[in-house]
Amino acid sequence: MKKILAGLVALAVVSIIAWPKVAPLLRSGEGAAPSAAKPAPAVRTVRLAPQPFESTLTFNGTLLADKAIDIKSELRGKIDRIAFTDGQRVETGDLIVTIESGELAAELESVREQLALAETNAERLQSLFERGSVTASERDDAVSQREVLRAEARRLAVRLEKTRIIAPFAGTLGLRAVSPGDLIEADTLITTLQTVANLKVDFSVPERYRALVNPGTELSLHVAGYDAPFTARVRAISPRVNIATRTLTVRADVSNPERQLLPGNYARVELINRNPDALLVPSVAVLQSLEAISVFTVENGMAVRRTVETGERSAAQVEILNGLKPGDEVITSGIQSVRDGQAVDVRNIPDVG
């Protein structure tokens, strides 16, 4: 009993000591109102309207000669004469190289002499056959011999002509790869020939831009070493999409009268895309995640997350291809505080007239 009384006395003493500190806390809680509801986040918006938009599409291309071949001999023989200098411009039919042809010329001369005799003999036997002096078999043998020699003469004449290698088209020759006296085989490279005044550029375009590229479309080319761009015009588009890359090969003509550009040059190809009725939103309004690209719109005072498909970008704007329509109100400021389905407080700055 004494222990119980002692405990009660100790509790009373502690309570008396602690009361000055506890009492203010209890008084502050009296009459406290429930916490106020969290206010709707303040945002700014822009209402979409079609407007002109210009963007630059860039592709990687390679310049090629419009015509380019390797000059080679079809015959085995010794180089007799080289009729060009490195880098020389030639016209169609200009002589490039000759191969020793004495043996072929002698063979052709011999065959032609035999042919002259065979033609005389065939005419004589034809006349005798008409008078009944020889048989048809004898006449036919003479005619056959004449035709065989004619064919042989044509064959040798063609081979003799091939000892003179000429330019098949006008262009610029490359560096010579042979010297006079060289014994060359068929298909030995002698030099190259290509057009330089007229070039072409091949480049790949993603399939989604197919509608922007058509025969006649004008392009700009940027080549290392030159500040000013060059002009190209689309000649043709491949009729098949590359399945691996999902791109189309485009070929454009490049006028090069000053011969500043060379086949093999890398070219940055630029296409100006002009859309008179584009839907544009500020870049800060576009949210990108691993799953989708989206923006927030305001509908009936609530924030609504909308998945969109974007097109080209400028320094401050993004083109919207799908997911929005004219008149939609897109949130451009305060996005960090907004959640899908949350009420928002639109506080746009009034236009000053």
DSSP per-residue letters across 188-224: -EEEEEE--SEEEEEEEEEGGGGGG--TT-EEEEEET
Task: Give the pLDDT score at 12.
Answer: 55
**Residue 269 C-alpha from the chain's centroid:** 8
Assess contact for 328 and 48: CB atoms under 8 A: yes
- Report the C-alpha gap between 85 and 182 in whole angstroms: 17
**Among 258, 238, 262, which residue's Cα sits nearest to residue 248?**
238
Length of the chain: 353
User: What span, in angstroms and rounded, lies between the C-alpha atoms of 233 and 94?
Assistant: 31
**Helix/strand/coil percentages in the chain, nearest 5:** 25, 40, 35
Beta strands in 138-290 (DSSP E): 164-166, 171-173, 183-184, 189-194, 198-206, 218-223, 230-237, 247-255, 266-282, 287-288
Q: What is d(CA 287, CA 233) in angstroms, rounded to the nearest whole number?
A: 38
Q: What angle do CA 14, 20, 24 make, to 5 degrees?
A: 130
Looking at residue 30, its pLDDT comes to: 47
d(CA 72, CA 178) in angstroms, rounded, equals 11
- Reduced 3-state DSSP string for 105-125: HHHHHHHHHHHHHHHHHHHHH
Closest by CA to 81, choosing from 105, 104, 97, is 97
For the chain, how big is the Rg over CA atoms in Å?
Answer: 45
Q: What are the structure tokens assigned to 171, written together?
A: 């262009």
Q: How many CB atoms lie within 10 A of CB 218?
A: 11
81: left (phi over 0), alpha (psi -120 to 50) or beta: beta
Distance CA 63, CA 266 (A): 6
Domains of the chain listed by start with CATH number? 43-50+278-346 (2.40.420.20), 58-66+195-275 (2.40.30.170), 72-99+164-194 (2.40.50.100), 101-162 (1.10.287)
DSSP letter at 242?
B
Mean pLDDT by 10 residues, the chain (353 residues): 51 52 49 58 91 88 93 92 94 94 91 92 87 85 92 94 93 93 90 92 91 91 92 94 93 91 93 87 90 91 92 85 92 90 84 51
> Could you tell me if 231 and 224 are in contact, meaning their C-beta atoms sit under 8 angstroms apart?
no
- Residues 6 or more apart whose CB falls under 8 angstroms from that of 180 comprise 79, 80, 81, 82
